[in-house]
Amino acid sequence: MSDTLRIAAVDFREPSQAEAFMALLEHYAADPMGGGQGLAAEVRAALVPALQELPHYHGALAWLGERPVGLINCFSGFSTFAARPLLNIHDIVVLRDLRQGGIGQALLAWAAQRARELGCCKLTLEVLANNRRALASYERAGFAPYVLDPAAGQALFLQKLL
């Protein structure tokens, strides 16, 4: 990478950053690991205004020079077992042609620093079981399956659509 990598909190008041955010999230949504469908028009229209209203949203863009190349979306939560906040990484995006170049690790480091600033006890995330590249990246960053007792197995992420 010839340009310097820079990670900075996303500022939706800046139209260029809102545009970069949407382009990167669309890139992820269109990827097989993001569902392969892209974002619905109503989601594209509503997302930035909705995120601007959420005080528990924390996100950053990765830039190589003036080119937006990565995105991380995080949301504050709470650990009842630690009685402290936690930060959940909901999305992490790196442009396909730049993967394995350290951008994802830099975004994860940004999230860890943001979590420390917020007084969080941990970072959490979800990942598809067959996304081996992402799993390896998360392991390099210090993530491990959530296990309270090995005899009980690891935690699973479930959903119920409403």
Q: Check if the beta carbon of residue 154 is closer than 8 Å to that of residue 146.
A: yes
Task: Name the strands in the sheet holding 5-9, side by side, starting at the edge strand that comes first in the sequence.
Answer: 5-9, 57-64, 67-79, 84-94, 123-125
Rounded CA gap, 106 and 12, in Å?
A: 21
Tens of pLDDT, residue by residue over 84-138, are: 999 999 999 999 999 888 999 999 999 999 999 999 999 999 998 888 989 999 9
Confidence check: pLDDT of 1 > 50: no
The rounded distance, in Å, linking the Cα atoms of 39 and 31 is: 11
Higher pLDDT, 102 or 159: 102
H/E segment holding residue 16: helix 15-30
Mean pLDDT of the chain: 94
Per-residue pLDDT for 156 more than 50?
A: yes
| pTM for the predicted model, two decimal places | 0.92
**Any idea which residue has 């995080």 for tokens?**
74
Residue 99 CA from chain centroid, whole number: 15
Which pLDDT value is given to residue 83? Answer: 98
- Taking 90 as the threshold, does the pLDDT of residue 70 lie above it? yes
Rounded to 5°, the CA angle 77-22-107 comes to: 50
How far is it, in rounded angstroms, from Cα 149 to Cα 29? Answer: 34
**Please, which residues have CB within 8 angstroms of residue 64's CB and are 6 or more apart in sequence?**
1, 3, 4, 5, 6, 98, 103
Q: Amino acid letter at 62?
A: A
The Cα 139–Cα 121 span in angstroms is: 18
148 or 27: which leads in pLDDT: 27
Q: Which domains does the chain have, with CATH numbers?
A: 5-143 (3.40.630.30)
